[in-house]
Structure 1
Amino acid sequence: MDMPKLLDGRLKLRHLLLVDALSRQGSVVGAAAALHITQPVATRSLHDIESILGVSLFDRGPRGITPTIFGEAFTTHARAVIAQLTEAGRHVVELADANRGTVIVGTHLAGSNVLLPGAIARLKVHHPLLTVIVREGTPEQLLTDLEAGRIDLIVGRLTSPTDDTAIRRNLYAESVELVTRVDHPLAHREDVQLEELRGFPWILPGVETVLRRELEEFFARNSLPLPENRVEATSFLTVRQLLVETDMIAVLPSLIPRDDARLTTLSITLDPIGHSVGITSSATRTSSPSAQALIATLESFAAELMRP
Structure 2
Amino acid sequence: MKTPRLLDGRLKLRHLVLLDALLRQGSVVGAAVQLHVTQPVATRGLHELEEILGVTLFDRGPRGITPTVYGAAFAEHARAVLAQLTEAGRHIVELADAVRGTVVVGIHLAGSNMLLPRAITKIKADHPYLTVVVREAAPEPLLVELVAGRVDMIVGRLTAPSDEQIERRKLYDEFVDLIVRPTHPLAGRTGIAPAELGEYPWILPGQETVLRRELEEFFARNGIPLPANRVEATSFLTVRELLLANDVIAALPSLIARGEPKFARLDVSLDQIGHSVGLTLPTITLSAPTVSTRRRSARSSNTTESTANRPM
TM-score, reference length from structure 2: 0.93
CA distance in 2, matches of 1:13, 1:91: 19
Contact 1:120 1:294 in 2 (8 A): no
- The offset of 1:293, in angstroms, is 4.6
CA distance in 1, matches of 2:126, 2:299: 12
Give the unaligned 5+ runs of structure 1. Answer: none
For 2:307, the equivalent position in structure 1 comes to 303
For 2:295, the equivalent position in structure 1 comes to 292
- The offset of 1:94, in angstroms, is 1.5
RMSD: 1.7
1:198 matched to 2:198: yes
Partner amino acid, structure 2, of 1:113 = N
CA distance in 2, matches of 1:303, 1:25: 42
1:75 matched to 2:75: yes
For 1:222, the equivalent position in structure 2 comes to 222
CA distance in 1, matches of 2:8, 2:162: 36
Partner amino acid, structure 2, of 1:84 = Q
Q: Secondary structure at the match of 1:71?
A: helix
- The offset of 1:86, in angstroms, is 0.7
CA distance in 2, matches of 1:45, 1:213: 40
> How many correspondences in the alignment?
308
Partner amino acid, structure 1, of 2:310 = M
For 2:174, the equivalent position in structure 1 comes to 174
- The offset of 1:101, in angstroms, is 2.1
Partner amino acid, structure 2, of 1:227 = P
Contact 2:171 2:305 in 1 (8 A): no
Q: Describe the superposition over 1:110-163 as per-residue Cα deviations: whole angstroms up to 9, x where unpaired.
A: 112221122212221121111111111111111111111111111111111111
CA distance in 1, matches of 2:185, 2:83: 50
Contact 1:123 1:297 in 2 (8 A): no
Q: Secondary structure at the match of 2:78?
A: helix
Partner amino acid, structure 2, of 1:186 = L
- The offset of 1:294, in angstroms, is 4.7
- The offset of 1:87, in angstroms, is 0.7
CA distance in 2, matches of 1:55, 1:92: 36
CA distance in 2, matches of 1:179, 1:307: 16
For 1:29, the equivalent position in structure 2 comes to 29
Distance 1:129 1:171, change over 3 A: same
- The offset of 1:307, in angstroms, is 8.3
Distance 1:129 1:117, change over 3 A: same
Contact 2:175 2:311 in 1 (8 A): no
Q: Secondary structure at the match of 1:217?
A: helix
Q: Secondary structure at the match of 1:154?
A: strand
CA distance in 1, matches of 2:110, 2:47: 42
Q: Secondary structure at the match of 2:29?
A: helix
Distance 1:18 1:276, change over 3 A: same
Distance 1:179 1:307, change over 3 A: closer
- The offset of 1:3, in angstroms, is 2.5
Q: Secondary structure at the match of 1:170?
A: strand
For 1:84, the equivalent position in structure 2 comes to 84
1:256 matched to 2:256: yes
Partner amino acid, structure 1, of 2:163 = D
Contact 2:200 2:249 in 1 (8 A): yes
- The offset of 1:279, in angstroms, is 0.6
CA distance in 2, matches of 1:255, 1:140: 23
Q: Describe the superposition over 1:255-302 as per-residue Cα deviations: whole angstroms up to 9, x where unpaired.
A: 111111121211111121100001111112246224325524652334
Q: Secondary structure at the match of 2:212?
A: helix
Distance 1:103 1:73, change over 3 A: same
For 1:125, the equivalent position in structure 2 comes to 125
CA distance in 2, matches of 1:41, 1:297: 49
For 2:99, the equivalent position in structure 1 comes to 99
- The offset of 1:207, in angstroms, is 1.5
Contact 1:102 1:290 in 2 (8 A): no
Q: Which piece of structure 1 moves more, 43-52 or 270-279?
A: 43-52
CA distance in 1, matches of 2:118, 2:241: 21
For 1:276, the equivalent position in structure 2 comes to 276
TM-score, reference length from structure 1: 0.94
Identity rate of aligned residues, in percent?
A: 63
1:57 matched to 2:61: no
Contact 2:18 2:31 in 1 (8 A): yes
For 1:66, the equivalent position in structure 2 comes to 66
Q: Secondary structure at the match of 2:294?
A: helix
Contact 1:103 1:290 in 2 (8 A): no
Give the unaligned 5+ runs of structure 2. Answer: none
Contact 1:106 1:134 in 2 (8 A): yes
